[in-house]
Structure 1
């Protein structure tokens, strides 16, 4: 039998915007919801201003010709106004989709065409890529708007004859009277297409309904308020948004969940680690939602000691596995007296965001990613057999109300990923894990991705495990492990960012004393300046494998 969540909580059947704001016209508290972290004294939005700006976007999009179900593609980094554009698209009856601002022409063109976006709102630096893709695919230039952190086009000059996004905004008086579009069936009405990372092929649009998005928020809110202390902390909580808002993790947290809870969020336009530390100190940030590279920097960087991080009371790490060694180092920097620990979570774009999390009532320190969120369930599968014992590794199959409708216009990929059994839809996640016990409340421990395992003479080697061990060395700042072919056999190779002088042989010999022989780095150690990652923190192993193929040097392996 699957492992059910310990909790079942009701899910409102309404639009996401109604869940966040309550109504289109009712009074809202004037609490500060968003602050530009680089310009905190002059640039902020209250909760009521957030709703009004979103309504201005919505009415403007409708007047520009947006019909119900049309897609609007946001191609920009983080700004104070990003959340209002997201909500405005939904209020207009449209579907939001966001593209990474790091995309080149080919990647952006794929998402533009696959989503069938009718309108594009692009950051200034992204306009040339967007314009090129739109022209090549016959999409009118008039449907492209330049996006920045200004609400007025005063002083704005476009050499490309592109409208400033403020041209979309209806005036405040008209927007006050505007009533947003409420979907007829929130369970089937799509609110966003959040594209999967595409590290194993072309990115796929993940179709998320209003109902699924709200179910994600309801579950997170429930777990965040399980003790009187946690509820009190939320009332004075301050968060820092440096995760990309086009991505499911940043989007669900900062566009919907935290505004509804009344948390003040400081938005960083661009990620910079030292600025992050400065902001924590200046604004007394209490809560961090982070990816492993951020926690790694807190643990390893000497900059961490230069700033007062004592205001931080809660760190949740997701998007990729975090090793115990790195978590321990970061915790010593943040909480030297051992009063707290970094909590990990697990989720997927395909399940809106969160699937396994910690409840605030649970204070037992662990490297686990938590347990099934309210209304969720999972099982561990080994081939076609369900694992019903603790500590045995298998693939997570997950089910719950947050599950995607499917991959946008890709029934083949949907059928390969979603399995229906006895009326229950399960997603085969590709993540390998084990549980500490086989019962509700079981803690889950992620091992690795199915497709990332290295096969060494029939043995399975987890790159994440080796990365965790290697990061225990003080002279290694970051590392990525992949399988490479040497003399026709697959063996592990480590790409290492070093923080102090160390040789390849030193690292290899050090590891050999800590892991089984088949896990040794017989593919060698290669020193690099940085490990390629997605903006959400996942290692781009495909890039490392391509780096290995392109390398002129041939590393001899000791296969005996």
Structure 2
């Protein structure tokens, strides 16, 4: 009997040939190509849509429960409400339905043009519903950072070729300013022009009674309209078709638009289900039988947030309590008030909770697990929070590894699973379900022997098809078809555990968010007074030991800059960056004038050399940059 990928039972997630978590023993080897101890993905229908993966049409909904809760106001959306609202909104979004917004058909890949809906909002209890309405309506969407400045939004709208937009009411002024920047016809850095139709802007309002705001229909008004429409039975299409776009900086430069197919999204959600099922079987617990309550702070537009809040809905009973913004005391209050069981975090938040004296004031005994992602988690940080959690059993907080280009690649496994050796902090664990890996010399592109450092290349159904309408950027991450060059330096040890060493990409991690050095450099060089003739930007140690970095700039002054002086120039450049870029891209590590910047004979900036010089100088001076 063939495996039923959509049946309402946990066995759907692992397939008939999945290794037994107790009896099966993974055997490390020295072959260059290595695979996940969890084995391959179970076979799935080729045209499956993400929405039907989460809500199989033949399966009845389980008993209702709170799905999303605003931790500040207690406003709640239950699972049944979520599904009904997603179906209603999908009827409105269908290009071949009544279509009150005049939406067109979406492209299936970047060879086509078509309707793409931008989602420009902070975390909100209705954001995941909009995503599922898009899946169900076969409407491609693109997640956009709510921290975007008008210039950044203008850029991303063009890179994603956004034609329509859902915008939180608080961000409407940013949209207005972005539209003032024009079509981009004079911008030679990209041929893509602004396509957003102001008549296709939807407003997400915190007041459900509003029908229109600033002349635009509200999301609630469209949901209400959708409830009056009849459902038209149809086979939803998915598979290799484009489902959504991520805002990604890729290897360098201003943000790019990264494509995610339905197959990608399904398998990203499936990975966490496989690990949960196999972990429960190892402990002798009925898989997925214990409801979980999650702290909701990871951004929904981020790949980490997509897995948590959108790609696993209805796959397990999970209630998410969303914080409108990060506040350590509100987080602790929410853990105690709602008896939260799981804390998905990023390294700076792990450290804040662990070190805050407020932690002692609140009852954290309900927490059965915490996890970290989006950036490297230092071992001392992993241990420090574990000591504060009564149910941690002394085990440090695990940290997963992934990229926007492949949401989940590796993670520590539960001790004893498949006979695997423990993966301590400082390692990124083992390849996740369905993944294959190679460790390659980034210069020669030849595999390195086991135990030597090299660039991690990854292959699997979670890997992006590439960057939207950007073949050059796509070619940079796929030297060989199907093999994603992660840009990260790793070491594969004798147990096939992966150790993260450094980034080969010119990217800076600030509180889990990516900063492209070239974007900040270009901004400095673009100052209207032409104060500098060369610039170098790199991430430097912030002195806090939380895995996050400060952005530091070294500049070579122009003649006009020399006349004005280093202090005046530094102040003007700092103010210009703050006007142009999001807060996490600000130059918190300082601006230093230098006579020249190191480059290779081919002209490539040696950012690491500048960073290392700075760290050596600080160490010699016996100071830390705080």
TM-score (norm 2): 0.70
Matched-pair contact (CA < 8 Å) for 1:357–1:371: yes
Aligned equivalent of 2:504? 450
* 1:39-82 Cα shifts (integer Å, max 9, x gaps): 22xx2222222111111221122312223312110111011101
Q: Distance in 2 between matches of 1:541 and 1:400?
A: 32
1:403 aligns with 2:463: yes
Q: Give the direction of change, closer, same or farther, for the CA distance of 1:53–1:150 in structure 2 (3 Å limit).
A: farther
Q: Give the direction of change, closer, same or farther, for the CA distance of 1:175–1:342 in structure 2 (3 Å limit).
A: farther
5+ residue gaps, structure 1: 455-461, 488-531
* 1:403-427 Cα shifts (integer Å, max 9, x gaps): 111100000000111122xxx5111
Corresponding residue to 2:438 among 373, 379, 392? 379
Q: Distance in 2 between matches of 1:366 and 1:539?
A: 33
Corresponding residue to 1:78 among 89, 110, 123? 123
Aligned equivalent of 1:340? 395
* 1:175-227 Cα shifts (integer Å, max 9, x gaps): 572446611xx332010001114683111111011011111111211111222
* 1:203-260 Cα shifts (integer Å, max 9, x gaps): 1111011011111111211111222446567622111111111111101211122542
Q: Give the direction of change, closer, same or farther, for the CA distance of 1:397–1:541 in structure 2 (3 Å limit).
A: farther
Aligned equivalent of 2:111? none
Matched-pair contact (CA < 8 Å) for 1:35–1:267: yes
| 1:369 shift after superposition | 1.7
Question: Secondary structure at 2:483's aligned position in 1?
Answer: strand
Instruction: List aligned pairs for 1:301-450, cutoff 5 A.
Output: 301-335=356-390, 338-351=393-406, 353-360=407-414, 362=416, 364=422, 366-367=424-425, 368-382=427-441, 383=443, 384-390=445-451, 392-420=452-480, 425-437=482-494, 442-450=496-504
Aligned equivalent of 1:245? 300
Q: Aligned pair count? A: 481
Aligned equivalent of 2:197? 140
Question: Secondary structure at 2:275's aligned position in 1?
Answer: helix
* 1:331-365 Cα shifts (integer Å, max 9, x gaps): 112248744331110001111x1111233455836
| 1:28 shift after superposition | 4.4
Matched-pair contact (CA < 8 Å) for 1:54–1:85: yes
Corresponding residue to 1:218 among 262, 270, 286? 270
Q: Which stretch of the first structure deviates more once superposed, 28-37 or 338-347?
A: 28-37
| 1:322 shift after superposition | 0.9
Q: Distance in 1 between matches of 2:548 and 2:138?
A: 44
1:52 aligns with 2:84: yes
1:269 aligns with 2:324: yes
TM-score (norm 1): 0.78
| 1:141 shift after superposition | 2.3
5+ residue gaps, structure 2: 1-31, 107-114, 184-194, 509-537, 557-577, 595-613, 622-626
Q: Distance in 1 between matches of 2:309 and 2:339?
A: 18
Q: Distance in 2 between matches of 1:406 and 1:114?
A: 13
Q: Which stretch of the first structure deviates more once superposed, 167-176 or 374-383?
A: 167-176
Q: Give the direction of change, closer, same or farther, for the CA distance of 1:141–1:344 in structure 2 (3 Å limit).
A: same
Q: Give the direction of change, closer, same or farther, for the CA distance of 1:326–1:486 in structure 2 (3 Å limit).
A: farther
| 1:388 shift after superposition | 2.3
Question: Secondary structure at 1:285's aligned position in 2?
Answer: coil
Matched-pair contact (CA < 8 Å) for 1:11–1:214: no
Corresponding residue to 1:191 among 243, 246, 256? 243
Tell me how large the CA RMSD over aligned residues is: 3.4
Q: Give the direction of change, closer, same or farther, for the CA distance of 1:541–1:26 in structure 2 (3 Å limit).
A: same
Matched-pair contact (CA < 8 Å) for 1:12–1:214: no
Q: Distance in 1 between matches of 2:378 and 2:583?
A: 14
Question: Secondary structure at 2:434's aligned position in 1?
Answer: coil
| 1:484 shift after superposition | 6.7
Matched-pair contact (CA < 8 Å) for 1:134–1:140: no
